[in-house]
């Protein structure tokens, strides 16, 4: 399976997404990044503008906290400083500070990152889903949800549905998909957004543009040498989809 599908390997059993005003336990997602992405333009730029962190998972009973940026997972020890204020200690003497403000978890601005705000998701993912899955599924639901019609390309006139869990219906030659949010796939795509389309055990990288309710999918042309990391540029457009 392609690394896009296996970006975060460790998982927690989800203990629910609710917390009391003084307890940060649960899952928190970067809804502002999702909202920015759905407005259109470059997906990764929108995520970075309100990130780079996309999801926190906190278990105050076990004093554990993890944070995902869509590619990497950081795991640390949760320390309470005073009511509603917390410190997360990571390996290598590195800390992040979190505050609870009403219904939001706030990652305090630091020398490394700007302030980032998180809310608890309205829909739960399956138990045992990898960290980052709640953000990913909320993004997929908002960014690609609904029914799309193939205006141009193989299967013209057909209906396509991108499911929040990565299942894909109606696009010829693909039954799974994943959007590139960060990491190696982002570096390989350059300034273009990329996604992975998979059928069975076989899949390929594609580049895409989403402009309002239209989605253009392009073949990915690798311009790198055989001994270099892939460097993808847009090839021919293969599909033009429009959301109803």
What gap in Å lies between CA 33 and CA 46, rounded to an integer? 6
What gap in Å lies between CA 196 and CA 22, rounded to an integer? 40
This prediction's pTM? 0.88
| Nearest by Cα to 8 from 97, 127, 136 | 136
Residues of the chain with pLDDT under 50: 1-20
What gap in Å lies between CA 181 and CA 165, rounded to an integer? 15
Q: Is the CB of residue 27 less than 8 Å from the CB of residue 18?
A: no
Number of other CB atoms surrounding residue 169 within 10 Å: 13
Write 160-166 long-range contacts (CB < 8 A, 24+).
160/241, 164/137, 164/138, 164/140, 165/125, 165/126, 165/137, 165/140, 166/5, 166/140
DSSP state of 188: H
| Nearest by Cα to 35 from 194, 142, 133, 125 | 142
Distances (CA, A) of 15 to 29, 80, 144: 15, 20, 28
Whether a cis peptide bond, with omega within 30° of 0, leads into 52 is: yes
Per residue in 201-230, pLDDT tens? 999 999 999 999 999 999 999 999 999 999
Rounded to a whole number, what is the distance in angstroms from the first to the last CA of the chain? 32
Task: Give the chain's largest Cα–Cα span.
Answer: 59
What gap in Å lies between CA 163 and CA 144, rounded to an integer? 8
**What pLDDT score was predicted for residue 24?**
93
Residue 115, token pair as written in the block = 């302030």
Per residue in 177-209, pLDDT tens? 999 999 999 999 988 999 999 999 999 999 999
């Amino acid at each position: 399976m392609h690394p896009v599908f296996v970006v975060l390997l460790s998982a927690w059993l989800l203990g629910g997404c609710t917390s009391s005003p003084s307890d940060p336990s649960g899952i928190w997602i970067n809804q502002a990044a999702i909202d920015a992405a759905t407005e259109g333009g470059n997906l990764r730029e929108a995520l970075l503008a309100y990130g780079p962190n996309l999801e926190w998972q906190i278990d105050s009973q076990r004093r554990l906290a993890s944070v995902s940026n869509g590619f990497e997972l950081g795991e640390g020890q949760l320390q309470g400083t005073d009511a509603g204020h917390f410190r997360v200690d990571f390996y290598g003497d590195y800390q992040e500070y979190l505050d609870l403000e009403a219904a939001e978890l706030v990652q305090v601005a630091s020398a490394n990152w700007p302030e980032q705000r998180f809310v608890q998701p309205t829909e739960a993912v399956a138990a045992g889903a990898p960290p980052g899955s709640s953000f990913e599924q909320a993004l997929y639901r908002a960014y690609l949800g609904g029914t799309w019609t193939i205006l141009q390309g193989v299967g013209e006139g057909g209906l396509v549905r991108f499911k929040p869990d990565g299942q894909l219906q109606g696009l010829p030659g693909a039954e799974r998909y994943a959007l590139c949010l960060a990491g190696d796939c982002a570096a390989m795509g350059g300034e273009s957004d990329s996604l992975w389309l998979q059928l069975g055990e076989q899949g390929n990288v594609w580049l895409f543009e989403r402009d309002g309710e239209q989605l253009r999918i392009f073949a990915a042309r690798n311009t790198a040498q055989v001994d270099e990391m892939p460097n993808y540029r847009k090839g021919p457009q293969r599909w033009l989809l429009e959301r109803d």
